[in-house]
Amino acid sequence: MLSYGLARVPAVAMGFATDGRIEGFGLVNLIDDKQFFPVYNPAPVVRREVLDKYPEVGELLNKIGPLLDTKTMTRMNYLVDIEHKDASAVARDWLVSVGLIDK
């Protein structure tokens, strides 16, 4: 995140829409009404031999995309970047909370 301002908490910053520091610093994302910035959505990439051997992996990954929106990704990044939670634990908790894996 590139920030502008002399204070410890930036007045203006430029970064990814899912940066955890947005929530941590109390910032808000501005609407890109000119569609200047490209949208970066996560997409699973898996080797064919893995899908051939474990087809359920593809089915599971296809369920994640619609559930993993900007607000969710920002919150998880906040927990990792600001609250210093373990990334694996944050991801696992989310997967459990949306019913994609068992606890």
* Residue 78 within a domain: yes
Rounded CA separation 65/41 (Å): 8
Closest CA relative to residue 73, chosen from 32, 35, 39? 39
* pLDDT at res. 96: 95
Q: Please indicate, yes or no, if residue 69 is contained in any of the structural domains.
A: yes
* Share of residues in the chain with pLDDT > 90 (%): 41
Number of domains in the chain: 1
**pLDDT tens digits for 13-55?**
777 888 888 888 888 888 889 989 887 777 889 999 999 999 9
90 neighbors 79 (Cβ within 8 angstroms): yes
Q: Pick the residue with more confidence: 57 or 11? A: 57
**77 — pLDDT class (breaks 50, 70, 90):** very high
**Is 103 part of a structural domain of the chain?**
no
C-alpha to C-alpha distance for 26 and 70, rounded to whole angstroms: 16
In a domain, residue 28? The reply is: yes
Q: What is the C-alpha to C-alpha distance for residues 51 and 72, in angstroms, rounded to an integer? A: 27
The reply to whether 84 falls in a domain is yes
Q: Give a yes or no: residue 102 inside a domain.
A: no
- Give the domain range for residue 71: 2-97
Q: Determine, yes or no, domain membership for 19.
A: yes
